[in-house]
Structure 1
């Protein structure tokens, strides 16, 4: 399935992807149109990243755990659907459930987007579903742990769906040589918004008494404000991004519309034609599972195992956001010089060392937790941004959304193993330290698998031009 060059496509574009900038007025016009879309694209990271930061990383884990403990029986268990679950594991299990829901839907949404060429309406639907569910967390109080789990599942799955569509725009709005820089700037925009909203959250949370609020009310306002922010700034990319028309195949080679698991199987079968792309995706699935688990479980580790105050956790995550902006931009520059693959490998080594150090952190000692947060911030944004841009080179033209649905399953969709291992380890041992050290293996194995991928051959095999450095 290939994309059709339309009147509103950039001059020289094929398959909906921009050509390298040429000389003269046509080249200047194409570059200006591309820059406009890129600036709009950055703003979806700006819109949705506050969910990952304020909701998933800082407030919801400890708060939902507290709500579950309020509803727990005398032995510390809650019973969703009649299943006994330790209250301290409920949040991790809910994250895993949200990911499994997303897995069922993402391949179908990706295929529909590629075949219709209409990513933007699907992006709007997913974004505003997630924003509404997040705003609804304002009503999470008392012992409503089931409501909290449901809203988390809806919001997390909607975010995953929206990121499939958002990421699929990257090959269409940037030339191969721009890819690392554009992806890094998107992450930098996201971390900037996360830091800004966290400052506002810190004011509300720390000053809740002066505002006439209880601590729980302050947390619920912070949760809901993330949903309102997400919805408000989604307007910018929806105004600037363009849909590309596609050519539908007919006859014996046509691809029939399928649904659910059939589409997932069809996507994976197609990816077997590009084994090197699949090899990269396997490596990314493993090491990113560790990244996503750290993001979602760090606040629980800090509050439950290290016995840190909520305000300390907010400041630590704010530090991560600020340093992640510098890390994303700095690693983007390193990728220009050394290539994305080498830069990612360096970040994975740093991740492993950081988590190993986290195992030995003393309780009730904020300064060491801040040091750990600084180390995470410097590698977090860059490893995510460069992984996204590297994968965009490995995607065949016309299948961006479908392949990015598989990528998103690795990013958020299949990142249920880490939270599940984290939750099970705690359930068996009762120690979050044992849970955190178990994540080191994800980064070590991901490093080995990525090091074995010949990325230049992988780009050529996908039919894409190879950048000077990759």
Structure 2
């Protein structure tokens, strides 16, 4: 394989896809869709009922992605189809996102179906995107290239989300009639942004040839997956990753709920979300270089240590200022932990079977934020304390780090 660096347009084109699709994660997934669903599409529905339907469609999309990722990843390897399948899933994500603009008031079922389809496109495409890392970065450069992907994702997602927040709060500045119209236009902007900045990957990234012919029978693909879990270090790493990334995702998903439980203003929580996005951009880049200097595993440990300190800080948090301080700390390490975990794993696996292996990786990622929220909920119910429930996440970081120590760091 030709050695590629960030001076090469293939590596930049690959990283730019994260800039493209992260706008869905910020503006649609985390930002506006849940609010618009409750207030506009399901406005006549009881709050508990709309929460149920939103959760059901979100879970269905996640379950579908989780089940099909390893199989589709193996198909991509055997047919040399990572780019083709990524293009397919990009369209599955972009077109329903665009379609949300035309979903009218009260059409909650249509909106939920479009959201679920777009979520399948977004999350399903990550298997092929991650697997292409081995095609654009030599092992010695994987930390840096992976980190630039996450960094550009945080920056691009943050920039468009910031603009969309201004549009929703001041729609008259943009000639829009209402906040609702502004949010709908934001969804169109996400679709356009995702499409435009995804194009360089499809033009300039070259994937390696098919690995094992065109046999995509279930038995053949199952054999690939069995080999994957038997590859030295892979299974242990995936369990370690599942534990600590579950803690990471739980903090991401429950931070706003925790802040609201403490009485913090919703506007402050949005500002904190934007703070994480913009701090994470330079911090993720720095972690890429740090991984090369001190070793990927040690850099991941540094990130997990900060997460443990943030968890302890959450237990003692009293003010919005402290919430912002902890948000900034999370921004310093969030992208680094994610990026270096991906690059560490990419060096554990055979490059010609990256699709199948990253299918497993992303299946584990979909399992993440299952154990953490359950642990938080059980501790909160048992103790009656939100603070103790957050502190319980320390278990996930400690166990994940302990298992990671059992995986030999792959060479470069």
Shared fold, TM over 0.5: yes
Residue of structure 1 equivalent to 2:337: 383
User: In 2, are the aligned partners of 1:395 and 1:403 still within 8 Å (CA)?
Assistant: yes
Task: Note the 1:40-439 alignment, pairs <5 A.
Answer: 40-66=13-39, 70-73=43-46, 77-78=48-49, 87=50, 91=54, 94-139=57-102, 142-210=105-173, 211-246=175-210, 248=212, 256-259=215-218, 265-303=222-260, 306-309=263-266, 311-362=267-318, 366-411=320-365, 413-415=366-368, 417-418=370-371, 421=374, 436-439=390-393
**How far apart are the structure 2 equivalents of 1:180 and 1:247?**
25
User: In 2, are the aligned partners of 1:107 and 1:402 still within 8 Å (CA)?
Assistant: yes
Q: Which runs of 5+ in 1 are unaligned?
A: 1-12, 22-30, 79-86, 250-254, 460-465
User: In 1, are the aligned partners of 2:6 and 2:145 still within 8 Å (CA)?
Assistant: no
**How far apart are the structure 2 equivalents of 1:431 and 1:96?**
27
**How far apart are the structure 1 equivalents of 2:380 and 2:355?**
38
User: In 2, are the aligned partners of 1:345 and 1:451 still within 8 Å (CA)?
Assistant: no
User: In 2, are the aligned partners of 1:288 and 1:410 still within 8 Å (CA)?
Assistant: no
1:70 CA drift (Å)? 3.7
User: In 2, are the aligned partners of 1:93 and 1:420 still within 8 Å (CA)?
Assistant: no
Question: RMSD over aligned Cα, in angstroms?
Answer: 3.2
1:404 CA drift (Å)? 0.7
User: In 2, are the aligned partners of 1:92 and 1:297 still within 8 Å (CA)?
Assistant: no
- Name which of structure 1's ranges 32-41 and 168-177 shifts more when overlaid on structure 2: 32-41
Count, aligned residues: 410
1:327 CA drift (Å)? 1.3
- Name which of structure 1's ranges 201-210 and 39-48 shifts more when overlaid on structure 2: 201-210
Describe the shift of the 1:388–1:122 C-alpha distance in structure 2 as closer, same or farther (beyond 3 A): same
1:283 CA drift (Å)? 0.8
**How far apart are the structure 2 equivalents of 1:91 and 1:439?**
26
**How far apart are the structure 1 equivalents of 2:372 and 2:221?**
23
**How far apart are the structure 2 equivalents of 1:432 and 1:33?**
44
**How far apart are the structure 2 equivalents of 1:63 and 1:44?**
27
Residue of structure 2 equivalent to 1:84: none
User: In 2, are the aligned partners of 1:284 and 1:446 still within 8 Å (CA)?
Assistant: yes
**How far apart are the structure 2 equivalents of 1:138 and 1:206?**
18
Q: Which runs of 5+ in 2 are unaligned?
A: none
- What SS does the aligned partner of 2:26 have? helix
Describe the shift of the 1:435–1:47 C-alpha distance in structure 2 as closer, same or farther (beyond 3 A): farther
Question: How far does the alpha carbon of each residue in 1:9-55 deviate from its partner, in whole angstroms, 9 at most, with x for none?
Answer: xxxx3xxxx4xx5xxxxxxxxx5898121111111011011112222
**How far apart are the structure 2 equivalents of 1:331 and 1:292?**
19
1:325 CA drift (Å)? 1.1
- What SS does the aligned partner of 2:171 have? coil
Describe the shift of the 1:96–1:291 C-alpha distance in structure 2 as closer, same or farther (beyond 3 A): farther
Describe the shift of the 1:169–1:291 C-alpha distance in structure 2 as closer, same or farther (beyond 3 A): same
Q: Larger helix proportion, structure 1 or 2?
A: 2
When Rg is computed on C-alpha atoms for both structures, the one with the higher figure is: 1
**How far apart are the structure 2 equivalents of 1:209 and 1:96?**
36
1:226 CA drift (Å)? 1.9
**How far apart are the structure 1 equivalents of 2:135 and 2:209?**
12
TM-score of the superposition, structure 2-length normalised? 0.87
Describe the shift of the 1:54–1:305 C-alpha distance in structure 2 as closer, same or farther (beyond 3 A): farther
Question: How far does the alpha carbon of each residue in 1:244-269 deviate from its partner, in whole angstroms, 9 at most, with x for none?
Answer: 323545xxxxx84224xx67754441
User: In 2, are the aligned partners of 1:108 and 1:263 still within 8 Å (CA)?
Assistant: no
Describe the shift of the 1:276–1:334 C-alpha distance in structure 2 as closer, same or farther (beyond 3 A): same
Describe the shift of the 1:426–1:272 C-alpha distance in structure 2 as closer, same or farther (beyond 3 A): closer
1:424 CA drift (Å)? 6.2
